[in-house]
Structure 1
Amino acid sequence: MVKLTGFKKVKTAVFISGTGSNLKNLIRFSKIKNSPISIDLIFSNTIKAKGLRFSDQFNIKQYVSSFKDSKVSEAKILNLLNKENIKLICLAGFMKILSKNFIKDFSGKIVNIHPSLLPKYKGLDTHIKAIQNKDEVAGCTVHFVTAKLDSGKIILQKEVKISEKDTPTSLAKKVLRQEHRLYPAAIKKIFN
């Protein structure tokens, strides 16, 4: 667990693979006076990640590595994280699985947001599964990352009602709106 010391914000890296809507939301949250974090690094496993544009927009360092050789990529990333004195990693739509060794080096300091009410629907296609199983609610979870996929200690969850008209796309949009509220709330909870 990360503990906040004094009034200094905790240097944080956000790992993305896509549009970066949760990244943008976390950047906005980090700019608030009483936010416990500052976003100091954006990492992506693909140069095509649209979220990388926030690097220029908010003047935040970025680093891209394809993970073709995940051992080499992870070694370079760990080196950079240490060099930048990063103390917290937020996964936000990061579509690569980090190795046990990487997670061990940052144990208790990696959090993830997942678009289901864990332990239900680990991995991909969460909204399709929720609708196919005729669930009444879906939702999102912020949890600590462990070597076991989507299985770390839950920090916070938020339910979202599924209507009869919902499609996987409409449900994804509803859940994403809640993710944007939940992630900052979960980070505050970690440091309180």
Structure 2
Amino acid sequence: MKKLTGNINIGVFISGRGSNLKELIRYSKKNNTNWKIKLVISNKKEAKGLIYAKKNKIQNYAIEKKKPEFEKKSLSILKKNKINLLCLAGFMRILSNEFIKKCKFKIINIHPSLLPKYKGLNTHERAIKAGDKYAGSTVHYVTAKLDSGKKILQTKVKIFKADNPNTLAKRVLKAEHQIYPKAVDIVCKKII
């Protein structure tokens, strides 16, 4: 079987621990993917995810600037590196409509709820308070409207009576690690 690895260049935006980034790196190395992570950009220089990028010899940048400057610098880096897909992985900033329009490639995000429920923050707390039986995770295309783009993949996680936002968050994160790489596969098959 012909090895596909690395035809599609992926950029990843992070803000924190980078557990989804770590999973994307692991999956792309272990499987016969047609994509590879070419660069990682964080809006916080102390983001732990930058350590995974360095360990895996992936170009990485920390751009601690206000949104307009961050977006301008990031866009320049993404274009220079011929990025075909941008993945948001725990990136805690809303991208401007202008940035999204200037990107000539798709942008996807992973969100810790069963969209369209609970857009934005505090998703686990909101799901528990509402008495929902399930929480979950959704990978979706990024549009100018927060957490409203077309869904790519979604997975459910049961909410137990004893759950609090932290216990639920841990289980949802495990589910995220399973679906995000698969969603990237789906999107990359459409890019070819």
* Partner amino acid, structure 2, of 1:144: Y
Give the superposition deviation at 1:28. Answer: 0.8
Of stretches 139-148 and 26-35 in structure 1, the one that deviates more from structure 2 is: 26-35
| 1:103 match | 100
Confirm whether residue 166 of structure 1 aligns to residue 177 of structure 2: no
Identity among equivalent positions (%) equals: 53
Task: Return the match for 1:177 from 155, 174, 178.
Answer: 174
SS in 2 for 1:31: helix
2:134 and 2:93 mapped to 1: Cα distance?
27
* Partner amino acid, structure 2, of 1:109: K
Please give the per-residue CA displacement for 1:51-94, whole angstroms capped at 9, x wherever unaligned.
110122100111111232x2222111111111111111000000
Give the superposition deviation at 1:30. Answer: 1.5
2:93 and 2:43 mapped to 1: Cα distance?
8
**Given that residues 114 and 155 in structure 2 are in contact (C-alpha distance below 8 angstroms), is that contact kept between their aligned partners in structure 1?**
yes
2:110 and 2:132 mapped to 1: Cα distance?
20
**Given that residues 14 and 92 in structure 2 are in contact (C-alpha distance below 8 angstroms), is that contact kept between their aligned partners in structure 1?**
yes
SS in 2 for 1:187: helix
* Partner amino acid, structure 2, of 1:104: K
TM-score by length of 1: 0.92
| 2:87 match | 90
**Given that residues 117 and 138 in structure 1 are in contact (C-alpha distance below 8 angstroms), is that contact kept between their aligned partners in structure 2?**
yes
Give the superposition deviation at 1:8. Answer: 4.9
Of stretches 154-163 and 102-111 in structure 1, the one that deviates more from structure 2 is: 102-111
* Partner amino acid, structure 1, of 2:145: K
Task: Return the match for 1:134 from 131, 136, 144.
Answer: 131
Please give the per-residue CA displacement for 1:104-160, whole angstroms capped at 9, x wherever unaligned.
122651000000000000000000000011100000000000000000000010000
Label 1:180 to 1:77 Cα distance change in 2 as closer, same or farther (>3 A): same
TM-score by length of 2: 0.92
| 2:153 match | 156
The gaps in structure 2 that reach 5 residues or longer are: none
Moved over 4 A (4+): none
Confirm whether residue 19 of structure 1 aligns to residue 21 of structure 2: no
Give the superposition deviation at 1:9. Answer: 2.1
Which runs of structure 2 are paired with 1:54-93 in the superposition (5 Å)? Answer: 54-68=52-66, 70-93=67-90
Give the superposition deviation at 1:191. Answer: 3.0
Give the superposition deviation at 1:7. Answer: 6.8
User: What CA RMSD, in Å, does the superposition of the two structures yield over aligned residues?
Assistant: 1.4
Label 1:7 to 1:54 Cα distance change in 2 as closer, same or farther (>3 A): closer
2:154 and 2:105 mapped to 1: Cα distance?
18
2:138 and 2:173 mapped to 1: Cα distance?
11
Q: Number of matched residues?
A: 186
